[in-house]
């Protein structure tokens, strides 16, 4: 028997040595009329919103809504933590690195259609769980919530409706743990994103709906192994990979095995799906650190997933919904690690290019790309003195960096007795290209024993020299870019709530999130639907307020030293 979804709730392909073969075939907006069409469609869509309890929102798209022709397949890409400044950063740095003209565009640039607004129901700055749930369930919810509404009722997701209502093929491809917030928000229901033990249980199919995912490529196999296993991070003795095969009909299950992944033949999809391939116990490696002998890149996983799902789709006559996340763009920005951040963006651009080429050959497929939020508050310029600033930043500083800051922090802490010679030669000169460390920097590198603190020190050394600024080690509340490619892309032109992105996908694929939500809550007599009102969209009373003498009031240029840890 499936376990209950929730506990009781309270009432209420980038390689620096090669050049990318990116195509730039995005459709141009040929007239202002497309803006009018996009606006009208989305106004109509928002006119059909429903609510579960006080906050479940679903698109009623079965009426006379004018939409572009239905799409058989949908590829949704989520660039976790990628904001507009980071897009500019990646483009200009790539132009510098590859000696490209100033008007050279990256794959996403040619498909930019608008912006997405990202606040959650509980904060003006969302976290990844609420940000992903806004898209997956078409609702605003509180930070840390994974596919549950603001009252903690489970909400039906796009992926679940695609599988259980439309009988489509479904897939998740990520570089984080598979149980991390974004993939979890499409495939599980918990009221706290840290409950990854429960998330993994839901993902294999142990939930009221049964198995909703046909393909999972990514990291984080530790949450699927029993507690006795030396690589497990479960708190119980359940072997979820064994259960997946024995009880939920998964056919292909491998972990920590790149060779088995490479041997997958897309034409043999009948014998492959459903498939789990997890390549690391925790998150997969950053692109700048990745050993290709052990882990595929995001673009490689995406290419394989598209081929397998397409083969299965051709044989079954059913479409597919594939959700892809560039997960570690966000994590590098949390560290304020500029070089690692931009390498993650490059690999995401590679992945977008893979999908664009697929769509060019399969016109019944559409792609949407957006971010759940921005991370880091990146600024391309750092002059903060009282002197009149120079308008610049130095890309050459980044070009000399060979490793992520967190990897170097771990190297330092595992080295044993440290010497200035080791720090100066093997870390600073050889890995970072830094030849002018200050006495203060050397002292910090020699004496810091906390890995997150050391990560921050190393990152700041590069950002300071490159004259790149960061406002936070957390998320910011800025709007993020919205991209679309393929049939119907022009209907997304404009500025939209993140919930409207999910509503558009539900309408385009003819999904029924209301039906899935009813199934998920069929055991709960307190569940009900009601029409949403303008008052129902008023979340301002849920916002936290400034508290006098708040401990977050930190001063000086080095505030991280007074914090216990970097915010998630």
Question: By C-alpha distance, which of 309, 330, 365 is closest to 484?
Answer: 365
Q: What angle, rounded to 10 degrees, do the helices at 338-361 and 84-97 form?
A: 90
Q: Torsion angle, CA of 202/208/209/210, rounded to 10 degrees?
A: 60
Q: How large is the angle between the packed helices 498-508 and 128-136, nearest 10 degrees?
A: 30
Catalytic residue among 128, 188, 269, 287: 128
CA nearest to 134, candidates 319, 332, 370: 370
CB-based contacts of 464, cutoff 8 Å, min separation 6: 382
Q: How far apart are CA 105 and CA 101, in angstroms?
A: 9
Can 128 be counted among the known catalytic residues?
Answer: yes
Cα separation, 432 vs 435, in Å, equals 9
Residue 52 contacts residue 521 (beta carbons within 8 Å): yes
Report residue 57 as tokens. Answer: 């929102």
Round to whole Å and give the CA distance between 230 and 548. Answer: 46
- Measured CA to CA, the distance from residue 262 to residue 304 in angstroms comes to 9
Number of helices (H), then strands (E), belonging to the chain: the values are: 19, 17
Residue 102 contacts residue 348 (beta carbons within 8 Å): no
- Asked if residues 179 and 171 have their Cβ atoms less than 8 Å apart, the reply is no
Listed in sequence order, the DSSP H helices in 98-174 are 128-136, 158-164
Give the strand order in the sheet containing 529-531. Answer: 58-59, 49-52, 529-531
From residue 32, how far is each of 24, 490, 499 by CA, in Å?
22, 11, 25
Structure tokens at 478: 């800025």
CA dihedral over 511, 358, 286, 238, signed as positive or negative: positive
Residue for token pair 């740095």: 93
Residues labelled as active-site residues: 128
């Amino acid at each position: 028997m499936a376990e209950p979804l929730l506990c009781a709730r309270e009432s209420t392909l980038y390689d620096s040595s090669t050049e990318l073969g990116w195509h730039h075939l995005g459709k141009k907006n040929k007239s202002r009329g497309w803006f009018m069409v996009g606006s009208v469609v989305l106004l109509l869509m928002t006119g059909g919103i429903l609510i579960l309890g006080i906050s479940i929102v679903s698109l009623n798209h079965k009426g006379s809504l004018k939409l572009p022709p239905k799409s058989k397949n949908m590829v949704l890409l989520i660039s976790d933590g990628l904001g507009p400044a980071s897009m500019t950063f990646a483009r200009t740095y790539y132009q510098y690195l590859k000696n490209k003209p100033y008007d050279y565009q990256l794959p996403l640039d040619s498909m930019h259609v608008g912006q997405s607004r990202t606040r959650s129901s509980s904060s003006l700055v969302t976290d990844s769980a609420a940000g992903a749930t806004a898209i997956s369930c078409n609702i605003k919810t509180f930070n840390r919530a994974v596919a549950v509404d603001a009252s903690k009722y489970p909400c039906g997701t796009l992926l679940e409706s695609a599988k259980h209502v439309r009988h489509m093929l479904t897939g998740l491809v990520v570089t984080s743990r598979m149980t991390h917030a974004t993939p979890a928000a499409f495939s599980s229901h918990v009221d706290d994103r840290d409950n990854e033990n429960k998330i993994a249980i839901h993902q294999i199919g142990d939930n009221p709906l049964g198995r909703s995912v046909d393909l999972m490529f990514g990291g984080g196999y530790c949450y699927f192994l029993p507690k006795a296993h030396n690589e497990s991070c479960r708190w119980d003795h359940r072997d979820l990979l064994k259960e997946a095969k024995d009880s939920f009909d998964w056919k292909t299950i491998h972990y920590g095995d790149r060779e088995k992944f490479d041997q997958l033949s897309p034409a043999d999809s009948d014998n492959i799906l459903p498939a789990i391939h997890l390549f690391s116990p925790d998150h997969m490696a950053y692109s700048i650190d990745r050993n290709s002998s052990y882990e595929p890149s995001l673009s490689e996983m995406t290419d394989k997933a598209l081929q397998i799902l397409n083969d299965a789709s051709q044989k079954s006559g059913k479409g597919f919904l594939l959700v892809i996340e560039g997960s570690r763009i966000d994590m590098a920005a949390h560290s304020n690690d500029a070089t690692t951040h931009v390498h993650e963006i490059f690999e995401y651009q590679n992945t977008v290019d893979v999908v664009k080429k697929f769509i060019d050959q399969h016109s019944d497929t559409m792609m949407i790309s957006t971010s759940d939020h921005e991370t880091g508050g990146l600024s391309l310029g750092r002059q903060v003195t009282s002197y009149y600033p120079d308008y610049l930043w130095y890309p050459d500083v980044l070009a000399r960096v060979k490793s992520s800051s967190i990897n170097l922090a771990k190297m330092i802490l595992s080295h044993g007795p440290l010497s200035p010679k080791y720090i100066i030669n093997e870390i600073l000169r050889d890995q970072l290209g830094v030849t002018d460390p200050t006495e203060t920097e050397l002292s910090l590198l020699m004496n810091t024993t906390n890995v997150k603190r050391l990560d921050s020190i190393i990152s700041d050394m590069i950002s300071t020299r490159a004259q790149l600024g960061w406002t936070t080690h957390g998320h910011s509340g800025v709007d993020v870019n919205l991209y679309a490619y393929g049939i119907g892309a022009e209907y997304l032109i404009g500025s939209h709530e993140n919930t409207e992105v999910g509503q558009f996908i539900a309408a385009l694929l003819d999904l029924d999130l209301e039906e899935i939500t009813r199934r998920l809550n069929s055991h709960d007599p307190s569940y009900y639907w009601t029409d949403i009102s303008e008052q129902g969209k008023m979340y301002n009373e849920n916002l936290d307020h400034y508290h006098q003498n708040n401990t977050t009031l930190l001063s000086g240029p080095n505030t991280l030293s007074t914090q216990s840890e970097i915010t998630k």
